[in-house]
Amino acid sequence: MSAVMITRKVRKWEKLPGKNTFCCDGRVMMARQKGVFYLTLFLIIGTCSLFFAFECPYLAVHLSPAIPVFAAVLFLFVMAMLLRTSFSDPGVLPRALPEEATFIEMEIEAANGNVPAGQRPPPRIRNVQINNQIVKLKYCYTCKIFRPPRASHCSICDNCVDRFDHHCPWVGNCVGKRNYRYFYLFTLSLSLLTIYIFTFDIVHVAMRSVDSGFLNTLKETPGTVLEVLVCFFTLWSVVGLTGFHTYLISLNQTTNEDIKGSWSGKNRVQNPYSHKNIIKNCCEVLCGPTYPSVLDRRGLMQEDSSVSTCADPTSSSTSTSSSSSGGNNTVSQTTHAILCLQKPTAPLIPNEHTPDDAKPSIAASAEKSSSPKEEHPPATKVPPLASPETDAETSIAKDKTH
């Protein structure tokens, strides 16, 4: 029985942790629950279709053809902003690779000193000074990083998001640094569209009632009633939301910070990110640089999977002979096979594979296969990695007892 390594190329999005769904081969990134997003789409498209079908013919003729044209432009803008918000990466921070996580663990151990067994270790916080204010950076147990300032972990998507605002089910995605301005423009343009449709519905009913009477108008254009209802209820929520976010933008705050009251109250730190100037704050949030995605979704990586096959000397010999430079490759294949037999579930560390660092990473993964490695849920406040120090300490303790 021999283990055959099958290496295939996969896109990185297939191996990303977190609870996102990806479409179009990694180009589209959304949350898992999309039901409310479909409802949003249905409401917007449905209401606008009714408007174009029932009101626009009358208004184009009796008032101006510019009315449906402007409505169409506004509708297209709303859809573009909605899709942009929903489909883009909100600013997800990739999780720490094992070496980085271990390095951070070591730094934390060094900072906290020895904690007696049984006592809860102190919370993992790093203080940084930003614009003469002390800001606390928290450690994320899931992503194994110290969260940058303004980042927060979204439990629905299971990702740390930079400048996390909130998770919006209506757009089916988190709202963070990269898509906040699209979200804001979506709510703003949707408010305008709602007000526009509502106004022209009233105008249309008023104008037609003069000719045909109120009840006849409603019979001729039944869609109007539905539109007015939808617009009336949408108006309050969306316009309110737009107003709220305008307020947040002028102060350069996020919804998350506002809800937690991070910068409010006398004894608390003042917002260190605000420019103290409303125009500058607005410009930064809305017209600032467009940040690139740091989550590589469409990059290619090797996925090594082992397949145990029946002993077939002919096939294995042909595979080794078909490899380019006989000596090196048989050695590497053997080492791969050895790794595979030791720990078949651990893939080799992705996206660091240059020929030069294959050896240290193989050593690191071999080392990890020997030391116990458990997966801890984020609820427990114990160091998730079995750190080499604890292993060393237990073995030293064992030595001493001998």
Partner 1 sequence: MAETHSLQDMRQQAAIAAKVFIQRDYTNGTICQFQTKFPSELETRIDKQQFEETVRTLNNLYAEAEKLGSQSYIEGCLACLTAYTVFLCMETHYEKVLKKIAKYIQEQNDKIYAPRGLLLTDPIERGLRVAVEFDRQITVQSF
By annotation, the residues acting in catalysis are 168
Residue closer to partner 1, measured from CB, 19 or 280: 280
Q: Which of 39, 130, 206, 210 binds partner 1 (CB under 8 A)?
A: 130
- Residue 377 binds partner 1 (CB under 8 A): no
Residue closer to partner 1, measured from CB, 143 or 231: 143
Reduced 3-state DSSP string for the chain: CEEEEEEEEEEHHHHCCCCEEEEHHHCEEEECCCHHHHHHHHHHHHHHHHHHHHHHHHHHHHCCCHHHHHHHHHHHHHHHHHHHHHHCCCCEECCCCHHHHHHHHHHHHHHHCCCCCCCCCCCCEEEEEECCEEEEEEEECCCCEECCCCCEEECCCCEEECCCCEEECCCCEEECCCCHHHHHHHHHHHHHHHHHHHHHHHHHHHHHHHHHCHHHHHHHCCHHHHHHHHHHHHHHHHHHHHHHHHHHHHHCCCHHHHHHCCCCCCCCCCCCCCCCCHHHHHHHHHHCCCCCCCCCCCCEEEEEEEEEECCCHHHHHHHHHHCCCHHHHHHHHHHHHHHHHHCCCCCCCCCCCCHHHHHHHHHHHHHHHHCCCCCCCCCCCCCCCCCHHHHHHHHHHHHHHC
- Residue 350 binds partner 1 (CB under 8 A): no
Q: Which of 129, 314, 324, 325 binds partner 1 (CB under 8 A)?
A: 129
- Residue 310 binds partner 1 (CB under 8 A): no
Task: Name which of residues 207 to 246 contact partner 1 (CB under 8 A).
Answer: none
- Residue 346 binds partner 1 (CB under 8 A): no
In the complex, minimum distance from the CB of residue 361 to partner 1, in angstroms, rounded to a whole number = 9
- Residue 48 binds partner 1 (CB under 8 A): no
Residue closer to partner 1, measured from CB, 97 or 192: 97
In the complex, minimum distance from the CB of residue 156 to partner 1, in angstroms, rounded to a whole number = 20
Q: Which of 148, 222, 240, 344 binds partner 1 (CB under 8 A)?
A: 148
Task: Name which of residues 50 to 109 contact partner 1 (CB under 8 A).
Answer: 76-77, 80-81, 84, 93-94, 96-97, 99-100, 102-103, 106
Residue closer to partner 1, measured from CB, 55 or 257: 257
- Can you give the binding site for partner 1, defined by CB under 8 A? 76-77, 80-81, 84, 93-94, 96-97, 99-100, 102-103, 106, 128-131, 135, 137, 145, 148-150, 163, 182, 185, 272-273, 280, 283-284, 286-292, 294-296, 351, 356-357, 359-360, 362-364, 366-367, 370, 388, 392, 395-396, 398-399
